[in-house]
């Protein structure tokens, strides 16, 4: 799977994909992430990428031409399954969207800055607009990193234990149950006995009950009984 990220601050994306699971996915040839500096497509000697908004008002808008030239170049090289614009007024991101995106081959992510990008790019190129939550970031880069991380880790064969992503929080509309590791007794704080019993069916049952309890307490909306 391949991500192409268009950014005005590519330095923000130097590190997130070079560690841990993302690095393993890249090393296995399962995930490629390419970051494109929109400034290289900027206009004139100053490589201009933004301008004042028509109609007045504070804040700059990212211009059509640099974005269109960058997108056109990428589209000439391969077909994209989705061209995604990260924006607070997009569709709210969740695990279901991550699952759907993990089945795609090529995804382009456009990071906005300042007041956002010229609406005509959204109309003519963008196929999906995503918000990672009801708050405003200073740019789309951190949102893009979240999309790549959450999608990248569920590409088949990325996780060592192939089934483990299935038990993540949200995969079955339940939060994950509590987990413990050694020692079984730390400062007198004991691990629930069932987990050291070796009785696998009982352990599964306990985990399901805990997941349900946790979801009821913390996120009843996931169970449809808010
Ligand atoms: N860019 C700025 N804020 C954002 C958000 N909440 N989600 C996605 N992209 C953004």
Q: pLDDT tens-digit profile of 27-66?
A: 999 999 999 999 999 999 999 999 999 999 999 999 999 9
The order of strands in the sheet holding 82-92 is 32-37, 2-7, 106-111, 82-92, 128-131
166 within a domain of the structure (yes/no): no
Are residues 18 and 116 part of one domain? yes
Are residues 103 and 35 part of one domain? yes
For ligand 1, whether the C-beta of 111 sits within 6 Å is: no
- What pLDDT sits at residue 170? 82
Domain count, the chain: 2
10 Å CB burial of residue 26 (0-12, 13-18, 19+) is middle
Task: Compute, in angstroms, the gap from residue 116 CA to the centroid of ligand 1.
Answer: 10
Are residues 109 and 77 part of one domain? yes
- What pLDDT sits at residue 166? 67
Tens of pLDDT, residues 15-36: 999 999 999 999 999 999 999 9
Quick check: 164 pLDDT over 80? no
> How many residues are there in the chain?
226
Pairing of strands 2-7, 106-111: parallel
Closest CA to 140 of 4, 6, 3, 40: 6
Identify the CATH number of the domain in which residue 60 sits. 3.40.1280.10
- What pLDDT sits at residue 25? 92
For ligand 1, whether the C-beta of 140 sits within 6 Å is: yes
Contacts of 190 (CB under 8 A, 6+ apart): 184
Task: Compute, in angstroms, the gap from residue 64 CA to the centroid of ligand 1.
Answer: 19
3-state secondary structure of 155: coil
Quick check: 98 pLDDT over 60? yes
Report how far residue 151's alpha carbon sits from residue 167's, in angstroms, rounded to the nearest whole number. Answer: 15
119 within a domain of the structure (yes/no): yes
- What pLDDT sits at residue 168? 81
For ligand 1, whether the C-beta of 136 sits within 6 Å is: yes
- What pLDDT sits at residue 162? 53
Last residue of a domain, one of 109, 124, 152: 152
- What's the mean pLDDT in 164-188? 89
User: pTM of the entire structure?
Assistant: 0.94
Give the 3-state secondary structure percentages of the chain, helix then strand then coil, rounded to 5.
40, 20, 40
Tens of pLDDT, residues 204-215: 999 999 999 999
Beta bridge partner(s), residue 107: 3, 82
Last residue of a domain, one of 105, 122, 152: 152
Task: Compute, in angstroms, the gap from residue 209 CA to the centroid of ligand 1.
Answer: 35
Task: Give residue 90's domain range.
Answer: 2-152
Last residue of a domain, one of 97, 123, 152: 152
Are residues 194 and 105 part of one domain? no
Are residues 63 and 133 part of one domain? yes
Are residues 17 and 103 part of one domain? yes
Q: How confident is the model at residue 200 (pLDDT cuts 50, 70, 90)?
A: very high
- What pLDDT sits at residue 163? 57
Q: How confident is the model at residue 85 (pLDDT cuts 50, 70, 90)?
A: very high
């Amino acid at each position: 799977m391949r991500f192409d990220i268009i950014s005005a601050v590519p330095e923000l994306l130097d590190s997130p994909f070079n560690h841990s699971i993302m690095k393993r996915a890249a090393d296995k040839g399962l995930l490629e992430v390419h970051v494109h500096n929109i400034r290289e497509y900027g206009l004139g000697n100053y490589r201009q990428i933004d301008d004042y908004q028509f109609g007045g008002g504070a804040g700059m808008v990212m211009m059509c031409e640099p974005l269109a030239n960058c997108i056109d170049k990428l589209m000439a090289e391969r077909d994209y399954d989705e061209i995604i614009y990260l924006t607070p007024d997009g569709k709210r991101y969740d695990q279901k969207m991550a699952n759907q995106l993990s089945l795609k081959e090529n995804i382009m992510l456009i990071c906005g800055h300042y007041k956002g990008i010229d609406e005509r790019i959204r109309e003519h190129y963008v196929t999906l607009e995503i918000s990672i939550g009801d708050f405003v970031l200073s740019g789309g880069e951190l949102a893009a990193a979240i999309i790549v991380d959450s999608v990248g880790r569920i590409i088949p064969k990325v996780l060592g234990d192939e089934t483990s992503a299935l038990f993540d929080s949200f995969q079955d509309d339940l939060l994950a149950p509590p987990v413990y590791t050694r020692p079984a007794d730390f400062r007198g704080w004991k691990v629930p006995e069932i987990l050291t019993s070796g009785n696998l069916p009982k352990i599964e049952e306990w985990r399901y009950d805990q997941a349900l309890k946790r979801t009821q307490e913390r996120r009843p909306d996931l169970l449809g009984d808010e």
